[in-house]
Amino acid sequence: MKSRFTPRPLATALSLLLASAIPAYAAPATPAAPSKPAAPRNAQNSNPFFQASPLELQYPQFDKIRDSDFAPAFDRGMAEQLKEVEAIANNPAAPTFENTIVAMEKSGEILGRATAVFFNLSGTDTNDTRKKLQSDYAPKFSAHGDAIRLNPKLFARIKALYDSRDTLGLDAESLRLVERYYDDYVRAGAALDEAQKARMREINTRMAALGTQFSQNVLAEVNDSAVVVDSREALAGLTDAQIDAAAAAAKSRGLEGKYVITLLNTTGQPPLSQLENRALRERIHKASVNRGARGNAWDNTAIVAEMTRLRAERANLLGYPDFASFSLANQTAGNKEAVNRMLEQLAPAAVANARREGAELQALIDAEQKAKRQPSFPLEAWDWDFYSEKLRKAKYDFDEAELKPYLEMKSVLENGVFFAANQFYGISFKERTDLPKYHPDTWVYDVIDQDGSKLAIFIFDPYARDSKRGGAWMNSYVSQSRLEGSKPVVANHQNITKPPAGEPTLLTWDEVTTMFHEFGHALHGMFSNVNYPYFSGTSVPRDFVEFPSQVNEMWADWPEILANYAKHHQTGEAMPKALLQKVEAASKFNEGFRTTEYLGAALLDQRWHQVPADKLPEASGVIGYEAQALKDVGLDYAAVPPRYRTTYFSHIMGGYAAGYYAYIWSEVLDANTVKWIRDNGGLTRANGDRLRNRLLSQGGSKDAMVLFRDFTGGKDPDIQPLLERRGLTGAAQ
């Protein structure tokens, strides 16, 4: 998940800009909140990044941080880290683990603090100032990273330690750290000749700029592509609260009397499941799928073409035939052949399921149109969600709108997500109102360990806003490390539509499971118990990082947990057992669609990265290349487009390049783990302690598959539980 050029975990956000693992987004087309005015600085009012935060667990001083603080902190932080690195590289003493590797782990404190806050805020609450800082500093950060990773004297010391690692008397974690440092520097180009290093620097600088521009374009066009609706009648099918929210969104854009449907970053858009107006559904769908390829200021086709070619060239410099081979070499998958085998095993069954589902929807359309004495029409992508909801209700007497009154957001968080963590792991939570916030729509909690000590601080940021990137994610402001004596400060983010003032926030079932999912990442960060910053929390292979979060989803519908949080927001009545049974009965409904849209995106990712540079298209051929790639693997089912089209596929233009398969690869591990937990007593403290101690607390300090086998008692993962979960057993027959 994380590509590092500096060993400090607090600089992870900086390295993520270079690899764009979590895309850094910038200001939307609509005006964002102005940056805070710079306050006069004096000895008592210095830059808050120049020293560790005095707040508990080094929680960021959001009330004191100004946008004008970032550039000075970046400049001073880079300068100081380069001095530290030069001192390490030029140390006349022979290289030792302490004077080289540990010294690198301790370097870059100011830069780490500043970048952790900056890139996290750029994702959650950006503005024009932060946008400019991202653009200005992307090439500077790239050059800074190369100055460290391509330093020949530093690499010589690391290599000397690596070559003699078995004679150093190191413990297992320290030995692994030496090995990881050496591998990282080789993969960064440290072993190349000077001409190759020069080209590597050029590529890295250009890729940093392209990644920043791509992510900025995606957010800008999400806002620019919002669909304006003239009348309330056109929104028939939406709830009154949803229509009021659309009116409020229009008013905020100066469109009084109109309605605005904002877009999410995925191809699919939630209102399509409710809107009765087919023409409006088509408008929304086409606005979504054409993002990044409309020939406007936010067109990403040229960026895609150049970025994928540069990645292929970079891989060639490092001795790999293509970027996927380079990217997968240090993942649990190991190589592209393993990824292809898994995806090719799943794709035929998934598409067969999807086509059967589509045939049922077409029959429903035909019958409905016949009853209206109107001609029928072929099922299109913008019809799928609308008619699948009708079919779900007909098959299971179940309308997702029936669930929402029982899924009030604060109850889901505190009585569901937190309650599950308390029952399974013994930890508890206490809301804080005294710590500063970067946005008023956030909540802050102390996390108390089972022995009464403070484990972490947790920030919850649920609502969508124009200044926030799409999707849901976890990030760290402070990472755990025994070397540094630090404990975690982590955050979860979602993009839930904020209701009008005074109205409760009622969630969809997908938003509920997403909340449990993201908290699984948070637990991975909070339970970290490692020596070195390098291995902290979620610093694991990209195709392993989603595994713990997917496991945590199991508690969303666990009877004991569900009964504790799923209560009517007005009456307090528990969700009726019959309604839950309907939800469970419908759990595999539409699974062909869900798996096919995901696999479409995952296989597109591989097609962009498994070929050499001379086989990749120019900008004008990006859309055609995508269409042919889907056709070649049998995923060209028009009614089920990929979850992301290439031009707004932020994962693969960022740190998940050649790695979007990781979600389903991790789900194989997840399905096996959930089965183990169920088979061994379910929601018990013994099982929670086992998962925490053997896996979640270890971060990246051990091989990922060793951790998995340690938890499961030595068993290797089996794909069968995943096939059963997704209803894919025998589906391709």
Q: Active-site positions?
A: 518
Distance CA 352, CA 363 (A): 17
Q: How many CB atoms sit inside 10 A of residue 542's CB?
A: 27
Distance CA 486, CA 276 (A): 53
DSSP per residue, 475-491? EEEE--BTTTTB--EEE
**Helix 152-163 crosses helix 172-188 at what angle (to 10 degrees)?**
140
Least Cα distance to 105 among 195, 182, 9 occurs for: 9
- Residue 75 near residue 450, CB atoms below 8 Å: no
- Residue 648 near residue 220, CB atoms below 8 Å: no
Distance CA 715, CA 325 (A): 27
- Residue 707 near residue 698, CB atoms below 8 Å: yes
- Residue 519 near residue 513, CB atoms below 8 Å: no
3-state DSSP call for residue 430? strand
Q: Which amino acid is at 369?
A: Q
DSSP per residue, 355-403? HHHHHHHHHHHHHHHHHTT-------HHHHHHHHHHHHHHHHS--GGGT
**Helix 685-694 crosses helix 662-679 at what angle (to 10 degrees)?**
140
Label residue 83 exposed, middle or buried (CB < 10 Å: 0-12, 13-18, 19+).
exposed
Distance CA 521, CA 38 (A): 35
Element of type H or E holding 495: strand 489-496
Q: How many CB atoms sit inside 10 A of residue 127's CB?
A: 21
Least Cα distance to 275 among 244, 233, 328 occurs for: 233
- Residue 190 near residue 155, CB atoms below 8 Å: yes
| Full strand arrangement of the beta sheet holding 489-496 | 428-432, 443-448, 454-463, 489-496, 473-478
Q: Please state the φ and ψ torsions of residue 443, each to the nearest 5 degrees.
A: -125, 145
Q: Give the CA diameter of the chain.
A: 89
- Rg of the chain (C-alpha set): 25
Distance CA 687, CA 697 (A): 14
Q: Which amino acid is at 503?
A: E
Element of type H or E holding 459: strand 454-463
- Residue 439 near residue 60, CB atoms below 8 Å: no
SS3 string of 190-202?
Answer: CCCCHHHHHHHHH
Distance CA 414, CA 475 (A): 20
Least Cα distance to 349 among 663, 723, 725, 664 occurs for: 723
Least Cα distance to 189 among 331, 322, 5 occurs for: 5
Helices (H), 507-541: 509-526
The two three-digit tokens of residue 493, written as one number: 């983010």
